[in-house]
């Protein structure tokens, strides 16, 4: 394990307002974390927990329905301070690359840390896999996580919008994209000479 890079695949679920009009002072708070630590192409560890929100502790009906999450689950969750502690512990474990699907997870984590007066716990390089996917396949629009999996002819892991399942699904897509990158790198494109026997063409032109 020494000297090997660690990939941290992370997914958060957040609070959301009831409608388009946000209550005064509202910002999304992390209420569930899913993390997959991968070292040397193998899953080293997994972590999953609900997180109790502070600013708006009562979940909206929209949030509970969309995420299939209950008020009781988040109330029994860890504190945001504990979440930051666990993230920093994983970050210290090994030189890390943090992989998420989209940029919202890191944006919300930064904002939540600022609101709580805590230091941002993840120091490694950040990779937005949805942008990597978009660049690699030339899609005009960013693709949703589980849509991307289906485009690969695969299925997502577990349930969509459950943090650990989404983190595992992100890891699975990462592996597929990396395999395709290696194939494209090793696959030399054929030249016109490989496809056409130039001697025959020249002979015909000489006639």
Confidence of residue 134 (pLDDT cuts 50, 70, 90): confident
Residue 161 catalytic?
A: yes
CA distance 84 to 93: 14
Nearest to 93 by CA among 34, 44, 134, 56: 44
Q: Which of 4, 13, 89, 155 is catalytic?
A: 13
Q: Is 187 in the active site?
A: no
Confidence of residue 196 (pLDDT cuts 50, 70, 90): very low
Name the β-bridge partners of 12. 33
Of all residues in the chain, the percent with pLDDT exceeding 70 is 72
| Backbone torsions φ then ψ of 99, nearest 5 degrees | -115, 125
Residue extents of the structural domains in the chain: 6-206
| Domain 6-206: CATH superfamily, name plus number | Ribonuclease H-like superfamily/Ribonuclease H (3.30.420.10)
CB 42 within 8 A of CB 6: no
For residue 198, is pLDDT > 80? no
Q: How far is CA 107 from CA 63, 93, 111, 139, in A?
A: 19, 23, 6, 23
Catalytic position from the list 132, 151, 160, 161: 161
Whether 189 has a pLDDT exceeding 60, the answer reads no
- Strands 42-50 vs 30-39: parallel, antiparallel or unpaired: antiparallel
So what's the pLDDT on residue 21? 81
């Amino acid at each position: 394990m020494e000297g090997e890079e660690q990939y941290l695949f992370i997914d958060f679920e957040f609070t959301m307002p009831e409608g388009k009009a946000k209550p005064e002072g509202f910002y999304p708070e992390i209420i569930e974390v899913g993390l997959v630590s991968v070292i040397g192409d193998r899953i080293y560890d997994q972590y999953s927990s609900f997180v109790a929100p502070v600013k708006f502790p009562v979940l909206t009906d929209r949030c509970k329905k969309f995420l299939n999450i209950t008020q009781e689950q988040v109330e029994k969750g860890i504190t945001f301070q504990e979440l930051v502690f666990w993230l920093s512990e994983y970050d210290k474990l090994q030189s890390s690359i943090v992989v998420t699907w989209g940029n919202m997870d890191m944006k919300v984590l930064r904002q939540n840390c600022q609101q709580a007066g805590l230091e941002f716990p993840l120091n490694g390089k950040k990779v937005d896999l949805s942008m990597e996917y978009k660049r690699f396949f030339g899609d005009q629009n960013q693709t949703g996580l589980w849509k991307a999996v289906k485009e690969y002819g695969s299925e997502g892991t577990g349930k969509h919008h459950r943090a650990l399942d989404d983190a595992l699904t992100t890891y699975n897509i990462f592996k597929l994209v990396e395999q395709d990158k290696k194939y494209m790198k090793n696959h030399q494109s054929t030249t016109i000479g490989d496809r056409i026997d130039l001697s025959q063409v020249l002979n015909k032109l000489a006639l």
